[in-house]
Structure 1
Amino acid sequence: MIRVLVTDGMAESAVVELKTKGFEVVEQFYEPEVLGEKLKEFDVIVVRSKTKVRQPLIDKAVEAGRLKLIIRGGVGVDNIDVAYAKGKGIGVTNTPNASSGSVAELALAHMFAVSRYVNISNVSMRQGKWDNEKYEGVEIGGKTLGLVGFGRISRELAKKASALDMTVIYTNLTGKVNGFDEYEFCKLNDLLKKSDYVSLHIPFIKENGVTIGKDQLAMMKVGAFLINCARGGLIDEVALVEALDNGKLAGAGIDVFADEPTKNEALVNHPKVSVTPHIGGATKETQMRIGSEIVSIICEFFK
């Protein structure tokens, strides 16, 4: 029987479907020092963000020669040493279509929150304050949204932002994307200078370091907003707090952090910041879509 290890959770409907189709499914999180040995007992491992599948774990799994497939339930695969795993004959894939809409919605939610002080006024009212004269916000309609990266999530956000009367521009490592002429392609530096809102939608590559650091923040408009629902590490968090403190940026919406769970209290507690604990894909609909996609991947792989 083909055994599937699910370490970070999966929709119950998907677990039931896999079992119905004859797969054995074990739902259990293991610490790294234990996971390597456990992988010798499974043909497939399904992870989300919490579990990291690095070279030492892959080497342990290879000793038994049983592990054939690693699936990341979500968009990125930066928590997996993909090239190394493939070099050892282990397939690696993800579910790129499942969470595009939910992450785009969260990015938009953060844009609204920091534009209209939803984040901090919610807190102040719970403290018995009525600071209605203090929270004069800005409208997002008529503003320019700059998208850094133009994959599935970014395109979903572009569509939603356009419907809200925003002008959308984007930058992309591979250049202009065909079929999206309604949006202007820009180089990163030009995008930073033109945008009222900058939203990140790219993977974090450790070797490349931060994408938005002190120099990039300096290029942005005074009073601009920065949104990151992509990956932690893309923004220099110290430089971001400085830019918020000195008034360069009007606000930031952050769902992902350099270290998670984050201990950066200066950022989390900043009155100009809207924060969430890495919940971009945390909707019922996304979990159902991820589960269905995982079932399809496994069934196709072992047919």
Structure 2
Amino acid sequence: MSPNKRNYIFDFDSTLTRVEALDVLAEITLAKNPNKKAIIQEIIDITNLGIDGEISFTESLEKRIQLLNANKADLSSLVSALKKQVSKSIESNKAFFEEFAEDIYVISCGFKEFIDPIVAEYKIPADRVFANTFEFAGDGKIIGFDVDNVLSKHNGKIQCLKNMNLEGEIQVIGDGYSDYVTREAGVADKFFAYTENISRIKTTENADHIAPNLDEFLYINGLPGNISYPKNRIKILLLENVHQDAFNKLSKDGFTVETVSKSLSEAELIEKIKDVHVLGIRSKTNVTKKVVAAAEKLMVVSAFCIGTTQIDLEACKEKGIVVFNAPYSNTRSVVELAIGEIIMLMRSVFQRSTELHSGQWNKTAAGSREVRGKKLGIVGYGNIGKQLSVLAEALGMDVYYYDIEDTLAIGNATKMNELSELLAIADVVTLHVDDNPANKNLFGEKQISEMKEGAYLVNLARGFVVDIAALVVALKSGKLAGAAVDVYPEEPSKNGEFYTDLKGLPNVILTPHVGGSTEEAQRDIADFVPSKIMAYMNSGNTVDAVNFPNIRLPRQTKAHRFLHIHKNVPGVMAKINKILAKYDLNIIGQYLSTDSSVGYVITDLDKEYNKEVIEKLRNIEGTIKFRVLY
């Protein structure tokens, strides 16, 4: 016997599978029973009492079988259902069970009749499965179980392990207290509380290790797995009250996610980010060069918004940190607010509403105009500008636009070659420029003076785009008939008091940066951005990255993949392939994309690496980041 011999003892219910098999059997056998819901709940309650050691297991088993009213014929349906309910990380690490088949056993208080067919697909033969067996009546009805089987009794797993008399270290992996007691009794050397499907306090507080999935168990033991680093060890920090769906999606994929409702200062973020692998922010948190320097493990920064000027993109690139944003997800929300505000301004609705709230009836048509036939000037003809163009035209407005890029007009919109030309004819000017620093004070005293008398200004773009002092003067003088402002040069990090010089001015709509803040937009962003995070973390995809070469990768299931980010200098690819050739590693796929400063290469191999190869690849001159993916 090898001195390092290990035996891996797996529980079945809620460990190898996501469910308790007898609960599933109840769903099948009680399908037409009018009291199905109550009976199933009773079975679940009895199951949990037995698992937690609150009642004897024999009693638990007897009561559940009586309630099941099951037949031998139902077992084939149960097996079919259980095959679809194998735990996610068990399924993805099938190769582990095949490679270590001689060291793996199943000890369960369930029944061999449904366990054997499931685990057989993972190369675990029936003689390595220790479980109860049913007793059947002549008509096939399940009437009981073998009472002489030690696993039908209290602490049966302890006695079963003793009877097996295994040599070497014994590790037990399970979700229940009945698994832990094998460690307590001294017949197991280590107990892993398996929490992928359910976490039981009584089990986890006594465990040697908590394994949120099989990947963690394999990682701790230095065993080969489907991925090189367990996802639960990858920490994601989401700031600024990012939508709950983002948390749910990332957590469901196995990552450890923490949320903070507000933005963090530079000092706070430096302290918080040291162990973070993925950072999610909105527009208020600044990821500065100092923050990036302190981020020892950071791989991704994701902006759950359109803008990225709050992120030092170059500093991120220099450290191999990929940045994503959400360029489209809130487009419709911003456009709808712009349309609504244009109508409200031209009808002086907010003024009339405020008067009526103050008890003043002022029915008047003075200064109240339709939008139909009026000229809309759009400054910035990107995704938002174009969609606004379509909706405004549908309302009967004549649309004109100005953009520094040569952009094709949508519908009947007219392109203006100079901003001053647009300002001279537009009844309403709406701003939709990006966060380029060159746009600071794009709209100041000069531009406002070039607008039509009595025109309206809408700013849903960036706070620094408009000179607020110049806007206040224009509104007070009557040069402009009204304005709608959603963004400000300086905005607070959390909800609370706020002051602007625009406060109290007539026919001025003020909103607290809510252009993209609709349930639909935030939900879409919370779907789009996490999908980009997962695509990069899980497979290396950088499609839609803001600061990085874009690569779309095919999914590999039978290969090993590494990601190499390096300075864009001559000879790096040659060095990578020379090392692979030296160790006789066959490349089955290789993908390279570069920009002026970095190169990003992904290599898929048909053989595992050894540590020496990994170290040599990591130490290639010019390497910024190296990661073994799977």
Band of TM-score, shorter chain:
over 0.9
Which position in structure 1 is the counterpart of 2:245?
A: 13
For 1:187-198, what aligned pairs fall within 5 Å after superposition?
187-198=418-429
Distance in 1 between residues matched to 2:464 and 2:259, nearest whole Å:
29
Which position in structure 1 is the counterpart of 2:287?
A: 53
Which position in structure 2 is the counterpart of 1:182?
A: 412
Q: Based on CA coordinates, which of the two structures has the bigger radius of gyration? A: 2
Shift of 1:134: 7.0
Report the CA distance shift for 1:121/1:174 in structure 2 as closer, same or farther (over 3 A): same
Report the CA distance shift for 1:222/1:179 in structure 2 as closer, same or farther (over 3 A): closer
Q: Alignment partner for residue 104 of structure 1, among 328, 335, 360?
A: 335
Distance in 2 between residues matched to 1:294 and 1:133, nearest whole Å:
48
Distance in 1 between residues matched to 2:321 and 2:435, nearest whole Å:
23
Which position in structure 1 is the counterpart of 2:534?
A: 299
Name whichever of 36-45 and 126-135 sits farther off. Answer: 126-135
Tell me if the contact between 2:236 and 2:278 (Cα under 8 Å) persists in the aligned partners: yes
Q: State the Cα deviation string for residues 73-127 of structure 1 (Å, max 9, x = none).
A: 1111121122222222211110111100001111112111211111122111111
Q: Report the secondary structure of 1:162's partner residue.
A: helix
Distance in 2 between residues matched to 1:258 and 1:33, nearest whole Å:
22
Q: Does 1:113 align with 2:348?
A: no
Question: Which structure 1 residue ranges, 4+ long, deviate > 3 Å from structure 2?
Answer: 204-208
Distance in 2 between residues matched to 1:33 and 1:219, nearest whole Å:
43
Shift of 1:135: 5.2
Distance in 1 between residues matched to 2:278 and 2:516, nearest whole Å:
22
Report the CA distance shift for 1:183/1:133 in structure 2 as closer, same or farther (over 3 A): closer
Aligned residues: 298
Q: Report the secondary structure of 2:464's partner residue.
A: coil
Structure 2: any 5+ residue segments left out of the alignment?
1-232, 493-497, 539-630
Shift of 1:22: 0.7
Tell me if the contact between 1:170 and 1:185 (Cα under 8 Å) persists in the aligned partners: yes
Which position in structure 2 is the counterpart of 1:280?
A: 515
Which position in structure 2 is the counterpart of 1:144?
A: 375
Q: State the Cα deviation string for residues 115-158 of structure 1 (Å, max 9, x = none).
A: 11111221111111111137541111101111111111111111
Tell me if the contact between 1:170 and 1:191 (Cα under 8 Å) persists in the aligned partners: yes
Distance in 2 between residues matched to 1:104 and 1:25, nearest whole Å:
32
Q: Alignment partner for residue 268 of structure 2, among 26, 34, 52?
A: 34
Identical aligned residues as a percent? 35
Tell me if the contact between 2:401 and 2:413 (Cα under 8 Å) persists in the aligned partners: yes
Tell me if the contact between 2:329 and 2:524 (Cα under 8 Å) persists in the aligned partners: yes
Matched residue type, 1:72: A
Matched residue type, 1:260: E
Name whichever of 134-143 and 251-260 sits farther off. Answer: 134-143
Tell me if the contact between 1:78 and 1:203 (Cα under 8 Å) persists in the aligned partners: no
Shift of 1:14: 2.5
Distance in 1 between residues matched to 2:478 and 2:268, nearest whole Å:
47
Which position in structure 1 is the counterpart of 2:395?
A: 164
Q: State the Cα deviation string for residues 181-204 of structure 1 (Å, max 9, x = none).
A: 621111211111111111100124
CA RMSD of aligned residues (A): 1.6
Which position in structure 1 is the counterpart of 2:384?
A: 153
Distance in 2 between residues matched to 1:251 and 1:276, nearest whole Å:
14
Distance in 1 between residues matched to 2:341 and 2:503, nearest whole Å:
14
Which position in structure 2 is the counterpart of 1:237?
A: 468
Tell me if the contact between 1:6 and 1:46 (Cα under 8 Å) persists in the aligned partners: yes
Q: Does 1:223 align with 2:454?
A: yes
TM-score by length of 2: 0.46
Structure 1: any 5+ residue segments left out of the alignment?
none
Distance in 2 between residues matched to 1:82 and 1:241, nearest whole Å:
34
**RCO greater where, 1 or 2, for CA within 8 Å and sep 6 or more?**
1
Shift of 1:285: 0.4
Shift of 1:31: 3.2
TM-score by length of 1: 0.94
Shift of 1:208: 4.9
